[in-house]
Structure formats: C-alpha cells, structure tokens
Amino acid sequence: MSGDELRLDGWAVPSGLEALHELCEQGREAWPAVSAEAFMVMETAVIEIAGNVVEHGRPVGHVRWTF
C-alpha cells in the first residue's frame, strides 16, 4: 500500500473473498468521510464480481486477481 492506495493481489479462491472483505474494511477505516452506504454498495458489487471469478474462473484455482 502506498499513499491513498489499498491493494490485494492473490489467487481467485474462496479464501481470497475473506481477504477482500478485510480490504474493504481497511478502506472504510482509511476514508471515514465516505458514507457507510457508499462503502456497502461498493463492497457488495466487488464481492459479487469476485465470487463469480472464484466460481467460474478457469482453470479453477489458477486465476490471479488484483483489487
């Protein structure tokens, strides 16, 4: 992480979703001026996308992601 950036690199696997939730929580803490509702909407969208990558990415367990 540098400056105003939070980043997560890793494999698109189920345990990566937990790390992604943690990254979103770090974002809430880093930018308290952003409304809780805005973060909730963003997190929901990101987790939905990530979940689809985990479920449908091929070959399974060999897809890398960066958020």
Per-residue pLDDT of the chain (67 residues; tens, 9 = 90+): 446 899 999 999 999 999 999 999 999 999 999 999 999 999 999 999 999 999 999 998 899 999 9
Question: What is residue 3's predicted lDDT score, i.e. its pLDDT?
Answer: 60
Our CA angle for 12, 64, 30, nearest 5°, is: 80
Question: What is residue 1's predicted lDDT score, i.e. its pLDDT?
Answer: 44
Question: What is residue 34's predicted lDDT score, i.e. its pLDDT?
Answer: 95
Helices (H) and strands (E) in the chain, counts: 2, 2
CA 56 remoteness from chain centre: 17
